Amino acid sequence: MQKQVKEKPQSPAKPKEESKIDFAFDKSNYIILLVGLVFILLGFILMTGGGSDDPNVFNEDMFNFRRITLAPILILIGYGIEIYAIMKKPADKTS
């Protein structure tokens, strides 16, 4: 007496290809993202300080060029770099 072996139903033939995960970003995108993040952090760091310990004494350092002009420009440049890094199409790697 022979045992009957049930065969598993075969799925449609799929070509055996290496399963490679395609990421949305390339290495260059991540580097550009980090550069933008550095600009943003530097802008916020330059914006800090300038306060007065005594509320009755006015500190003129709060309205200097670094805090009013330079820091916001660096932050805006950082956001622009971030947008560029997100929108940049990764290079095709066909080989």
Give mean pLDDT, residues 55-66.
85
Q: Which of 6-15, 23-32, 54-63 has the highest mean pLDDT?
A: 23-32
Q: Check residues 61 and 48 and name the one with the higher pLDDT.
A: 48
Instruction: Write b or e for each residue in 55-86: b if 16 or more Cβ atoms lie within 10 A of its Cβ, otherwise e.
Output: eeeeeeeeeeeebeeebeebbeebeebbeebe
Task: Give the residue extent of every domain in the chain.
Answer: 27-87
What are the φ/ψ torsions at residue 70 (nearest 5 degrees)? Answer: -65, -50
Tell me, what's the pLDDT at 57?
83
**55 pLDDT exceeds 60?**
yes
pTM for the full predicted model: 0.70
Give mean pLDDT, residues 43-48.
94
Tell me, what's the pLDDT at 43?
97
